């Protein structure tokens, strides 16, 4: 018997210039005031902010813009946004940017209908009431936040990353417009692309993967393997950017339904303690974690290798190929290269052990000793 459950953002609009549909989508949500979180870099370097204001004013929705999100958001930033949105009685939320921007927008939508602060809802299923309707517009091809139920924040006072995980955070609609990703510089293009690759490979290998999520995760890996090197070399290649956005979305569907694994558990503390970007932390750790799990996942790794390279490659050689692939994208190979101090292993292990759900999804059980070994090997 085949049993499965698939959750996905109900309305997805994709393709070149699909951002122009924002007005039509927002109108259907029947709001009067939209809280719009826009990535700081985009707001400064492109005309997206002006375009958004114009689209919303044309349909008589008042825009309240917050454009100060630049890197991994803290709970303080998210709470500040929620206060502004509450004061203005916003009844729609729109996020335009990378994962940090979209996560902030999703959390604000939750806090508009639930009293208190982000810290009150970090954990699993803590939001009591459905959130305000929200539209997500990713401008990096990486996090898949437009299709997931999570919003991750750093609690600055304890340097810890933690997510609000709730069914009420699934966006009502998402727009995947490759034109909005053209301005993304090479470094973040590679890092966010590898985050998406991690979502895809981890969800493929997850204990919760099923007959429906596996082909979705595999399709994402195939698209990323082919298109990430193209967008890295030619940032203006619209077709490759479009393929990357679709891949990131598919990888997000894999993540939302099958979960991620130990790579995300071990990379969370790198962001919380040392400010390492999420994509880089995952990418650096990925080959070491695959190696440590290899005897148990050789068959799956060889399936992936065959599908994405078109050649039969044994699992160990594929991990070498993955290292070459990441090197060609300028991704560091070791934790020592990204200034993680070697004497922090104990702290890292303690923090990683607390990111339990992805550890439970890992294809084999993973102990504290395994985690120590993985971090050590990654230095």
- Order of strands across the sheet that contains 150-155: 123-124, 160-165, 150-155
Tell the smallest beta-carbon distance from residue 143 to Fe ion (Å): 6
Q: Which is nearer to Fe ion, 49 or 278 (CB)?
A: 278
Q: Considering only 89-97, 172-180, 194-202, 318-326, which stretch makes contact with Fe ion by CB under 5 A?
A: 194-202
SS (H, E, C) 5-71: CCCCCCEEEECCCHHHHHHHHHHHCCCCEEEEEEEHHHHHHCCHHHHHHHHHHHCCCEEEEEEEECC
Q: Which is nearer to Fe ion, 195 or 242 (CB)?
A: 195
Which residues are CB-contacts of 54 (< 8 A; sequence separation ≥ 6)?
A: none
Tell the smallest beta-carbon distance from residue 213 to Fe ion (Å): 16
Q: Which is nearer to Fe ion, 195 or 222 (CB)?
A: 195
Q: Which is nearer to Fe ion, 65 or 335 (CB)?
A: 335
Q: Considering only 27-35, 131-139, 169-177, 188-196, which stretch makes contact with Fe ion by CB under 5 A?
A: 188-196
β-partners of residue 138 are 97
- Order of strands across the sheet that contains 92-97: 11-14, 173-176, 134-138, 92-97, 33-39, 62-69
Q: Considering only 45-53, 187-195, 209-217, 357-365, which stretch makes contact with Fe ion by CB under 5 A?
A: 187-195
SS3 109: helix
Tell the smallest beta-carbon distance from residue 115 to Fe ion (Å): 29
CB 283 within 8 A of CB 191: yes
Alpha carbon 271 to chain centroid, angstroms: 13
Among 39, 195, 222, 370, binds Fe ion (CB under 5 A): 195
Tell the smallest beta-carbon distance from residue 144 to Fe ion (Å): 7
Q: Considering only 150-158, 195-203, 315-323, 335-343, which stretch makes contact with Fe ion by CB under 5 A?
A: 195-203
Q: Considering only 32-40, 158-166, 189-197, 207-215, which stretch makes contact with Fe ion by CB under 5 A?
A: 189-197
Tell the smallest beta-carbon distance from residue 284 to Fe ion (Å): 13
39 binds Fe ion (CB under 5 A): no
Which residues are CB-contacts of 94 (< 8 A; sequence separation ≥ 6)?
A: 22, 26, 34, 35, 36, 37, 52, 105, 134, 135, 136, 137
Q: Which is nearer to Fe ion, 93 or 255 (CB)?
A: 255
Buried b (16+ CB within 10 A) or exposed e, 111-143: bbebeebbbebbeeeebeeebbbbbbbbbbbbb
Q: Which is nearer to Fe ion, 103 or 195 (CB)?
A: 195
Residues that bind Fe ion (CB under 5 A): 195
């Amino acid at each position: 018997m085949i049993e499965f459950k698939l959750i996905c953002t109900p309305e997805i609009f994709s393709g070149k210039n699909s951002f122009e549909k924002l007005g039509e989508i927002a109108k259907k949500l029947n709001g009067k005031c939209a809280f719009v979180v826009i990535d700081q870099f985009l707001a400064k370097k492109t005309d997206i902010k002006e375009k958004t204001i114009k689209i919303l004013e044309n349909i008589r929705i008042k825009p309240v813009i917050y454009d100060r999100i630049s890197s991994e958001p803290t709970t303080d930033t998210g709470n500040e946004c929620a206060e502004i949105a509450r004061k203005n009685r916003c009844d729609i939320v729109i996020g335009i940017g990378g994962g940090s921007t979209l996560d902030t927008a999703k959390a604000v939508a939750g806090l508009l209908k639930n009293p208190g602060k982000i810290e009150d809802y970090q954990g699993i299923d803590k939001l009591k009431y459905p959130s305000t309707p929200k539209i997500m517009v990713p401008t990096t091809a990486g996090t898949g936040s437009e299709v997931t139920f999570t919003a991750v924040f750093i609690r600055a006072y304890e340097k810890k990353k933690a997510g609000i995980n709730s069914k009420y955070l699934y966006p009502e609609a998402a727009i995947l417009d490759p034109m909005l990703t053209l301005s993304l510089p090479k470094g973040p293009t590679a890092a966010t692309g590898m985050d998406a690759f991690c979502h895809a490979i981890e969800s493929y290998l997850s204990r919760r993967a099923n007959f429906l999520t596996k082909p979705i995760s595999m399709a994402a890996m195939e698209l990323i393997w082919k298109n990430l090197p193209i967008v890295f070399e030619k940032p203006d290649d619209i077709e490759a950017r479009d393929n990357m956005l679709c891949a990131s979305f598919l990888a997000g569907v894999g993540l939302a339904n099958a979960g991620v694994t130990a790579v995300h558990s071990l990379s969370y503390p790198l962001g919380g303690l040392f400010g390492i970007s999420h994509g880089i932390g995952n990418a650096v750790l990925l080959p070491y974690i695959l190696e440590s799990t290899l005897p148990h996942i050789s068959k799956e790794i060889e399936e992936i290798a065959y599908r994405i390279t078109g050649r039969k490659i044994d699992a160990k050689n594929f991990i070498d190929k993955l290292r070459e692939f990441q090197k060609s994208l300028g991704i560091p190979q070791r934790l020592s290269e990204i200034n993680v101090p070697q004497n922090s292993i104990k702290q890292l292990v303690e923090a990683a052990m607390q990111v339990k759900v992805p550890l439970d999804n890992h294809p084999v059980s993973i102990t504290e000793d395994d985690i120590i070994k993985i971090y050590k090997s990654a230095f």
